[in-house]
Structure 1
Amino acid sequence: MNTLGPVSAGPVFDLAETLTRFLTGLVLCFLVLLVCAEALLRGGFNYSLGFAEELTGYCVVLLTFLGAALALRHGSLFRVHFLFDALSPTAKTWIARVFVLIALVICVTLAWKTKDLMLSSLSRGKFAPTVLRTPLWIPQMVMPAGFLVIGFFLVEQLLLTFRSSNESN
């Protein structure tokens, strides 16, 4: 739970979390089914789907981004609680603001650079050297999208620091 005050900065952020949770659950269910099917087929019938490893890799990357965004929203990402809890409310607010601003710069930079990588793969028509021959821009699209989701919830955290400082005055 976020210790800086309100958990939500508004209904737009709540809707974004609901959609993120739904997508995370969907991807996780698909991942579990795929891994179980692959294990059953390999163990029981000595047959492999061939594409399972590729798709599970894409799912794990997507789950990492979505999970990080949700953990960030609930204040449980990148925090050493025993040190953070020892600070005064004003210090907590300013440290949170500095963290969010630095993290936003990093997220925007990484989203921009990974978008460039994705567009480069798209324009050059590159494909993964795998069974599915997936166009590389499709899995590479996960990275800028993931950084944008994290950035969206960073903006919410920044808004919450201003709300919590106004409520303490």
Structure 2
Amino acid sequence: MKSAIEIYGKILDAVTKIVAVIAGILILMPALMVFYEVVMRGLFNAPTEWSIELSVYCVLIAGFLGMSVTYAAGKHIHVDIVVGSLSPRTRCFIEVFTTCVGIFFCAVFVMESFDMAILSLEMDNTSPSTLRTPMWIPQMALPIGMGLLLLQFVRTLLVDIAKINTGDFSKEVK
């Protein structure tokens, strides 16, 4: 029988793969939009009003969605100068502490950014452009992206607590 942590990890991996594809598409879209803008402006002297604004939104959303993908892949910045020389047990305890700090930061960020997006929705805030994009749409990328990062931190915390309980510090967190 699989443990709850393994099931949670598999579900989170599946969600992370989907989010990675979405973030990748959102990074490709600005390249295409900017290319279209350059062609329209340069060849036809007909600049678009929407391409730069939508490109910024795509990059913003991709960046926030990509944080959980990056963390799951172990590609976030690590400062290993001191921690690398410590024992695996001590590193695990330090990781528990730093993961708890990350969980706290992400939880506060999720709550505050969600409140900001809901306020924008209630006040009908729109971008000051001809598109009049409802601001809650790009703003929802913040709580969603940080919420996914929060779930990754929870996974790390659960794995580390399991390591501490079993005393097996040889396994690395994925």
Ranges in structure 2 where 5+ consecutive residues have no aligned partner:
1-6
Aligned residues: 163
Preserved CA contact (<8 Å) 2:117 2:135: yes
Q: Distance in 2 between matches of 1:84 and 1:124?
A: 47
Q: Could you tell me which residue of structure 2 aligns to residue 4 of structure 1?
A: none
After superposition, give the CA deviation of every residue in 1:80-139 in whole Å (9 maximum; x if it has no partner). Answer: 134332221012111111111111111111111111111111111111111210111111
Q: Distance in 2 between matches of 1:37 and 1:158?
A: 45
TM-score by length of 1: 0.86
Q: Distance in 2 between matches of 1:126 and 1:66?
A: 23
Cα 1:44/1:74, change in 2 over 3 Å: same
Segment of structure 1 superposing worse, 145-154 or 22-31: 22-31
TM-score by length of 2: 0.84
Segment of structure 1 superposing worse, 138-147 or 42-51: 42-51
Spell out the pairing of 1:2-151 with structure 2 (5 A cutoff): 10-151=9-150
Preserved CA contact (<8 Å) 2:67 2:146: no
Cα 1:9/1:116, change in 2 over 3 Å: closer
Q: Distance in 2 between matches of 1:146 and 1:50?
A: 28
Preserved CA contact (<8 Å) 2:89 2:169: no
After superposition, give the CA deviation of every residue in 1:122-159 in whole Å (9 maximum; x if it has no partner). Answer: 11111111121011111111111111011111111112
Q: Distance in 2 between matches of 1:130 and 1:44?
A: 24
Preserved CA contact (<8 Å) 2:121 2:134: yes
Ranges in structure 1 where 5+ consecutive residues have no aligned partner:
1-7
Cα drift, residue 75 of structure 1: 2.3
Using the aligned pairs only, state the percent identity: 27
1:92 aligned counterpart, secondary structure? helix
